[in-house]
A = this chain, B = another copy of it.
Amino acid sequence: MSAPARIAVDPALVERMIRELATDGAHGETGVWRTVYSPEWVAAADRYAAWCEEAGLRTRRDAVGNVWGRLEGTDAAGDAIVSGSHIDSQRPGGQYDGALGAIAGLVAIRTLKERFGPPERPLEAVALCEEEGSRFPAANFWGSRAITGAIAPGDPDATIGYDGETIAAAMRAVGLDPARIPEAVRDDIDTFVELHIEQGPILEQAGLAVGIVNAITGIRHYVVELTGTANHAGAFPMDLRRDPMAGAAEIVSGVIATAHRMGRPAVTTVGRMEVSPNGPAIIPERVTFTVDARHPDPVARQVLYAKHEALMREVAARRDLSISWHTTFDQDPLTCDPAVVGLLEGAAAAQGVPALTMASGAVHDTQRMAARSRAAMVFVRSRDGRSHTPEEFSSVEDCVAGIEVLAAALHRLAY
């Protein structure tokens, strides 16, 4: 293949698809409430399948309900080049998180098919069934886990939803057999490229529509418990207190300052705190809080964690508090495939789309897909950096710019 002239994508098609997919589970003016295996999700999967058919792609659903549209390659033995994202949403989420990437893969392949005909390698668009864990909290990445063989035989019955139902029962209710999940595994995917909204303000601050993701952050969630001695808020002098709130405040300030000082892309967040007994006139006995700490660099990540843990120990010891913590989530970072990142950068340049190469601070299906394929991502600017809310928004122009970069990259990979 050789680099073609600029590949143009139809803005009207992109906008129509975004708005139509958002009708499945529409929530208020601009929101979407579409959890996996719900009637709204079934409607969205059917709609996506119909679009694949309409584009002339060979369309099928796999064992967990991922929807695939395949454009056969002339090299029958070639592994596939795949692009897509998830179509489930937060409760409620918006019209872009996930959905835009599923649409992008389809629009890019449809555009390439119409302009260049059959590729050498097969091209596939995919609507992944589940990423958010918004119905079954332990089911994050259900679709990409199925594809990469990361669902254990006992998982479907052990994965319980917020309403108490198992994901196995929810699958059966939409005609899927949990026993057949292993059939969803794919070992014939060469490269996976996911387009997604950024979910942060970095592109907006940089004045750029498109980002090329070269790494996806590693995350550790700590749950920290600090215990002191509950006492009367009036009668107990400051100098004699074992106050876990004072310790927690110092740790919260410290971990936030550590990440800030380390600089981008380090981030640390304390989003959750519980105080016991939580009375205005009682020095607390116990303060429990989370520390979410992220860095895409494997070494810097360990430095960040070590600094956080050293601070937690030091504050507890100095204030004579008991401290314990455990990690509820610990995901390694992903360094995206450098060849694919380079190819995306080249595609952006060829398309005349200035793009920022950056890390993702959020987790994505790509992290799972990378277990069995080369993988990288394209980001599209989010207004005000918002996501997981009906207010999330990306302009059609930005979406088109991202899809054009994606299409140019798929062209380089498949033709």
**Chain A residues proximal to chain B, CB less than 8 Å:** 198-202, 205, 217, 219, 221, 223, 230-240, 243, 245-246, 248-250, 252-253, 256, 259-260, 264-273, 275, 277-284, 290, 292, 294, 328, 360-363, 385-389
Contact, CB under 8 Å: A388 / B232: yes
Query: A328 vs B217: C-alpha distance in the bound complex, in angstroms?
Result: 44
Query: Cβ of A363: which chain B residues have Cβ within 8 Å of it?
Result: 234
Which of B223, B232, B246, B385 is close to A240, meaning CB atoms less than 8 Å apart?
B385
Given A253-B246, A253-B253, verify A360-B235 contact (CB < 8 Å): yes
Max count, chain B CB within 10 A of own CB: residue among A245, A246, A269, A389: A269
Query: Cβ of A253: which chain B residues have Cβ within 8 Å of it?
Result: 246, 249-250, 253
Q: Name A296's closest neighbour in chain B (CB-CB).
A: B234
Contact, CB under 8 Å: B294 / A290: no
Given A253-B250, A271-B280, verify A294-B219 contact (CB < 8 Å): no
Query: A217 vs B223: C-alpha distance in the bound complex, in angstroms?
Result: 37
Query: Cβ of A252: which chain B residues have Cβ within 8 Å of it?
Result: 245-246, 248-249
Query: Cβ of A200: which chain B residues have Cβ within 8 Å of it?
Result: 231-232, 234-237
Which of B233, B235, B267 is close to A385, meaning CB atoms less than 8 Å apart?
B235
Query: A256 vs B389: C-alpha distance in the bound complex, in angstroms?
Result: 36
Which of B239, B278, B361 is close to A273, meaning CB atoms less than 8 Å apart?
B278
Query: A185 vs B236: C-alpha distance in the bound complex, in angstroms?
Result: 34
Contact, CB under 8 Å: A280 / B290: yes
Contact, CB under 8 Å: B236 / A385: yes
Distance in Å: Cβ of A380 to nearest Cβ of chain B:
13
Given A245-B273, A253-B246, A260-B239, verify A361-B232 contact (CB < 8 Å): yes
Query: Cβ of A361: which chain B residues have Cβ within 8 Å of it?
Result: 232-237
Query: A200 vs B237: C-alpha distance in the bound complex, in angstroms?
Result: 8
Contact, CB under 8 Å: A282 / B275: no
Given A237-B264, A267-B237, A273-B273, verify A232-B362 contact (CB < 8 Å): yes
Query: Cβ of A362: which chain B residues have Cβ within 8 Å of it?
Result: 232, 234-235
Query: Cβ of A268: which chain B residues have Cβ within 8 Å of it?
Result: 238
Query: Cβ of A271: which chain B residues have Cβ within 8 Å of it?
Result: 233, 245, 275, 277-284
Given A223-B280, A271-B277, 17 additional A-B pairs, CB 8 A? A199-B232, A200-B231, A200-B237, A201-B236, A217-B234, A219-B234, A234-B361, A235-B362, A235-B387, A245-B252, A245-B256, A253-B253, A272-B278, A272-B279, A273-B273, A280-B292, A281-B292
